């Protein structure tokens, strides 16, 4: 069996498994009352966000935590597949000498950021708000993200020997130990960028799915089988999740999915050595977190907003765009960004 046929089969298998489990999983979330509550939300500085609440009031009661199912399905199948390949003599080639180290980095990112996001979901939706019990402030969670990302960056640098950044049209630059703080920043930034983008039905999951197809193509072009298999599993499971996440959503990704998916998206780009291409492919996420950051800084230091609402998708809602219109056009933009990013990566 050719490697392409094998990877496509893995994608379809992941899609089927997730599709079989997803309705019982949604019912379980309802039974656990793991649902979005109608409440007043606050930004990173504790200020009320009435515009956000206005557009998200109708989403109260929808189950949250769909990303957990994707993480479980992808992780279990990925963990089972590789030993089976070895047993049946299927060659698993990669661009790194230590394929197990590459797999460890992927697993560590996917699971650790997923657990941190799950904690955040549990805190919010079971109302464990007291500092003395199960409570961490935003700055504490950011510190945890940085520590996790720093550990992952160390593994990328020490175990896999990655210390370079490829800039299209210019060349490859070796950063040495500076690669570690650089990779840490990229991982934390994308984890939060996907989390912020996950504000409309199908917005984050749809754009993420399209971007993953581009990264999957790049991994297949360099014959990195472990990474190609992981991305195929992720895409297959994400397609099934997206079916229930499009407008009107029957289930949301939750922080468990958004943080894990964003951080892992960054790590995939770092493993491929294509950070500039990653920024282009993930530009919608970058733009969303950028607009939110500028708004927060303006409110903090100028005492007023620079835009009517942020992030940008919320601004479009406030401007009068309907939710499906924003999401569908974002998907179209994402297709072109992904094609452009893949083209840049291959120069």
Residue 107: pLDDT above 60? yes
Reported as a pLDDT band with limits 50, 70 and 90, residue 48 is: low
Reported as a pLDDT band with limits 50, 70 and 90, residue 133 is: very low
106 neighbors 230 (Cβ within 8 angstroms)? yes
Average pLDDT rounded to a whole number, residues 303-309: 83
> H or E segment at 207?
helix 203-221
* Cα dist from 297 to 246, 302, 303, whole Å: 32, 8, 9
pLDDT greater at residue 310 or residue 184 = 184
Residue 243: pLDDT above 80? yes
pLDDT greater at residue 39 or residue 96 = 96
Q: Which of 145-154, 162-171, 317-326 has the highest mean pLDDT?
A: 145-154
Dist CA 303 CA 289 (whole Å): 20
Q: How confident is the model at residue 121, as a pLDDT?
A: 86
Q: How confident is the model at residue 117, as a pLDDT?
A: 94
pTM score, whole prediction: 0.93
Closest CA to 138 of 46, 275, 220, 54: 46
Residue 327: both structure tokens together = 């999401």
Q: How confident is the model at residue 225, as a pLDDT?
A: 86
Q: How confident is the model at residue 134, as a pLDDT?
A: 42
Q: Determine what percent of the chain is predicted with pLDDT higher than 90.
A: 65
Average pLDDT rounded to a whole number, residues 229-250: 96
Instruction: Say whether 107 sits in a helix, a strand or coil.
Output: helix
Q: What angle do CA 101, 104, 108 make, to 5 degrees?
A: 145
Residue 42: pLDDT above 80? no
Reported as a pLDDT band with limits 50, 70 and 90, residue 1 is: very low
Average pLDDT rounded to a whole number, residues 219-226: 88
Q: How confident is the model at residue 44, as a pLDDT?
A: 56
Average pLDDT rounded to a whole number, residues 128-157: 78
Average pLDDT, the chain: 89
Q: How confident is the model at residue 37, as a pLDDT?
A: 66
Q: Which tens digits make up the pLDDT trace of 183-208? A: 999 999 999 999 999 999 999 999 99
Closest CA to 120 of 147, 146, 140, 148: 140
Dist CA 318 CA 47 (whole Å): 18
Reported as a pLDDT band with limits 50, 70 and 90, residue 127 is: low
Q: How confident is the model at residue 309, as a pLDDT?
A: 85
* 328, burial (CB in 10 Å: exposed 0-12, middle 13-18, buried 19+): middle
Q: How confident is the model at residue 138, as a pLDDT?
A: 74
Q: Give the range among 83-92, 187-196, 214-223, 266-275 with minimum mean pLDDT.
A: 83-92
Q: How confident is the model at residue 252, as a pLDDT?
A: 94
CB count, 10 Å around CB of 329?
A: 12
Q: What angle do CA 153, 204, 102 make, to 5 degrees?
A: 25
CB count, 10 Å around CB of 88?
A: 7
Q: What angle do CA 211, 235, 33 make, to 5 degrees?
A: 105
Closest CA to 120 of 72, 64, 55, 204: 64
Q: Which tens digits make up the pLDDT trace of 145-161? A: 999 999 999 999 999 99
Tell whether omega for the bond before 157 is within 30 degrees of 0, i.e. cis: no
Residue 226: both structure tokens together = 């472990």
Q: Which runs of E-coded beta strand occur in the chain?
A: 164-167, 171-174
Dist CA 176 CA 163 (whole Å): 5
């Amino acid at each position: 069996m050719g490697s392409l046929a094998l990877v496509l089969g893995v994608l379809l298998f992941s899609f089927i498994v997730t599709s079989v489990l997803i309705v019982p999983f949604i019912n379980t979330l309802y039974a656990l009352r793991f649902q979005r509550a109608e409440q007043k939300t606050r930004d990173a500085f504790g200020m009320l966000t009435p515009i956000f609440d206005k557009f998200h009031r109708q989403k109260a009661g929808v189950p949250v935590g769909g990303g957990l199912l994707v993480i479980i399905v992808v992780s279990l199948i990925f963990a089972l597949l590789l030993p089976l390949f070895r047993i049946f003599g299927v060659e698993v080639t990669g661009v790194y000498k230590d394929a197990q180290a590459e797999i460890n980095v992927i697993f560590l990112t996917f699971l650790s950021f997923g657990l941190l996001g799950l904690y955040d979901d549990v805190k919010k939706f079971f109302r464990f708000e007291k500092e003395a019990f199960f409570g961490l402030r935003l700055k504490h969670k950011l510190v945890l993200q940085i520590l996790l990302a720093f550990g992952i960056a160390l593994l990328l640098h020490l175990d896999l020997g990655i210390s370079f950044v490829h800039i299209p049209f210019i060349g490859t630059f070796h950063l040495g130990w500076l690669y570690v703080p650089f990779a840490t920043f990229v991982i934390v930034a994308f984890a939060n960028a996907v989390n912020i983008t996950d504000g409309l039905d199908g917005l984050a999951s749809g754009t993420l799915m399209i971007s993953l197809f581009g990264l999957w193509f790049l991994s297949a072009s360099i014959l990195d089988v472990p990474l190609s298999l992981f991305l195929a599993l992720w895409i297959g499971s994400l397609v099934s999740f997206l079916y229930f996440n499009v407008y009107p959503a029957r289930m949301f990704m939750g922080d468990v999915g958004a943080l894990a998916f964003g951080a892992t998206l960054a790590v995939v780009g770092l493993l491929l050595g294509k950070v500039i291409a990653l920024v282009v492919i993930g530009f919608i996420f970058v733009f969303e977190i950028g607009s939110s950051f500028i708004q927060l800084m303006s409110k903090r230091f100028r005492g007023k907003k620079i835009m009517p609402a942020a992030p940008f998708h919320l601004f479009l809602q406030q401007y009068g765009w309907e939710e499906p219109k924003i999401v569908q056009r974002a998907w179209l933009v994402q297709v072109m960004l992904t094609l452009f990013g893949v083209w840049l990566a291959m120069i």
